Chains A and B, each alone.
Chain A
């Protein structure tokens, strides 16, 4: 997956990321402290080539498969309140981390992160600041938001079905005699086995385990 990045010294990786940014985000600066890589500067909310707004940001970058990058608005513009999706420590929650981590490694680039979740988050903030409605809904807070998110990932509804399905996906092997996660009380081989196998292709054991851990402790990184 992305393990090769982890073997690169942070200074070298920081230079690679800086060079990735040169064309589209020349304002952002990549630096590192110890093994941590930070991206700081002013993020332009772009609409094609037009700058609609600017936010001062800090990102603690992560190349790992288990931690999503951390985003902070550092200009003091966005209030640290739940309704604006900013934690009491200033960390912005642009998404449920597994929504990022489930993407294939080659799609988890810094440019895609900036163009996708970061842009969406600040576009959302600018609209809310102006009292406008946003065409897409934010998630509920806490576990309820995780259930919505994992439900979207799995194509399921209901907390028990989602938790059970994640539990099965977290195992190394799928066993046909398990009771189906859908609540039918049938064995899975006689119910949703094919669907579970299809999910397995998209959702690794690792991601399913992370999701289960987060359901038990939503505030983990």
Chain B
């Protein structure tokens, strides 16, 4: 199989089609989140919509988090007067139905009983003015407790970058390697590195990104298109740089020695669920020295 064809097949296997169980579950929870927030703040009219990779079309099956933004109008105090209050009160409302894990600016939702991750982040915020364009979001535990952002600018920047397929493949690469860098920052980095390679093949684009990361002695500077002067991303990128650079080097060397399958694995065949289960059963039957799971608490 040609490289381009192989990489496209890998991408296709990462699609979440509209009827997939994962998306159906996400949509059910999204409805519930919206209902909770609208009923919880009856005197407010927040804008509730998709953000993140779903809106930016960079979603991949292996890391399919759904961002739901909940932005209150600038003069709306129904959820609180300060950003901190909005963040905390939104969290309280969601906690009626979910286990809420507060992140820096998002509220991660999990099942209340078993903490099963719903892959949903709710991002509360407040619009800067009546134009409902720029927004302030709370920065939980950060030096600066608020950050100006603009969802539409982010979405347009990524969606219209011309390199969405490369972003999705590199996101898969980053996820598989457990690299500790926010997807958003990684996307901005890829867009910057590929600004002159939009018409190149996927193979060329990926190799270019890895080579650039491998060769850059220091972290490349990027800026947040929604807040170029107010959102300093350098620290985030710097802390992940050595790992990013080392793993790019290792990837290029593996690619040279063993080809693309060594990087992304074989293209998954469309096996029936029953067929796959039989493979698991067979594999389990060949375990010669099983380790038996335990739990400290009764």
Residue A106 at the chain B interface, CB threshold 8 Å: no
Rounded to whole Å, the gap between the CB of A57 and the closest CB of chain B is: 8
CA–CA, A100 to B64, complex, Å? Answer: 34
Contact of A94 among B63, B284, B293, B296 (CB under 8 A): B293
Overall SS of chain A's interface: mixed
Cβ contact within 8 Å between B290 and A76: no
Number of interface residues of A (CB under 8 A): 68
Cβ contact within 8 Å between A51 and B266: yes
For A87, what are the chain B residues with a Cβ–Cβ distance below 8 Å? 295-297
Chain B, 236-288, CB within 8 A of any chain A CB: 243, 246-247, 250, 254, 262-263, 265-266, 273, 276-277, 279-287
Closest-by-CB residue of B relative to A119 is: B287
Contact of A127 among B180, B263, B273, B280 (CB under 8 A): B280
Rounded to whole Å, the gap between the CB of B261 and the closest CB of chain A is: 10
Residue A10 at the chain B interface, CB threshold 8 Å: no
| Chain B proximity mask over A82-99: 1 for CB below 8 Å, otherwise 0 | 100111101011111001
The listed residue with most A CB atoms (<10 A of its CB), out of B114, B273, B283, B293, is B293
Cβ contact within 8 Å between B115 and A120: no
| Chain A proximity mask over B166-185: 1 for CB below 8 Å, otherwise 0 | 00000000011111100000
For A170, what are the chain B residues with a Cβ–Cβ distance below 8 Å? none
Cβ contact within 8 Å between B285 and A93: no
The listed residue with most A CB atoms (<10 A of its CB), out of B111, B113, B289, B298, is B298
Cβ contact within 8 Å between A145 and B294: yes
Given contacts A79-B115, A80-B114, A90-B115, contact A141 B298 (CB under 8 A): yes
For A42, what are the chain B residues with a Cβ–Cβ distance below 8 Å? 62, 175-178
Closest-by-CB residue of A relative to B286 is: A47
Among A128-136, A174-182, A184-192, which stretch is in contact with chain B? A128-136
Cβ contact within 8 Å between B297 and A41: no
Closest-by-CB residue of B relative to A27 is: B176
Cβ contact within 8 Å between A120 and B283: no
Cβ contact within 8 Å between A41 and B283: no
Chain B, 43-79, CB within 8 A of any chain A CB: 62-63
Cβ contact within 8 Å between B285 and A135: yes
Cβ contact within 8 Å between A141 and B279: no
Residue B116 at the chain A interface, CB threshold 8 Å: yes
Residue B192 at the chain A interface, CB threshold 8 Å: no
Residue A155 at the chain B interface, CB threshold 8 Å: no
Rounded to whole Å, the gap between the CB of B260 and the closest CB of chain A is: 13
Closest-by-CB residue of B relative to A19 is: B250
Cβ contact within 8 Å between A142 and B298: yes
Cβ contact within 8 Å between A138 and B280: no
For B297, what are the chain A residues with a Cβ–Cβ distance below 8 Å? 82, 87-88, 141-142, 218-219
For B273, what are the chain A residues with a Cβ–Cβ distance below 8 Å? 130
CA–CA, A138 to B178, complex, Å? Answer: 29
Cβ contact within 8 Å between A132 and B277: yes
Cβ contact within 8 Å between A139 and B179: no
Question: Which residues of chain A have a CB within 8 Å of any CB of chain B?
Answer: 18, 22, 26-29, 31, 39-42, 44-45, 47, 50-54, 56-58, 74-77, 79-82, 85-88, 90, 92-96, 99, 116-117, 120-121, 123-124, 126-127, 130, 132, 134-146, 149, 218-220
Question: Which residues of chain B have a CB within 8 Å of any CB of chain A?
Answer: 62-63, 110-111, 113-119, 175-180, 243, 246-247, 250, 254, 262-263, 265-266, 273, 276-277, 279-287, 289-298
Task: Provide 17 A-B residue pairs closer than 8 Å at the C-beta atoms, listed in order of the A residue.
Answer: A18-B250, A26-B263, A28-B177, A28-B178, A29-B243, A40-B178, A51-B266, A75-B62, A76-B110, A87-B296, A88-B297, A96-B294, A124-B284, A126-B280, A127-B281, A139-B295, A142-B296
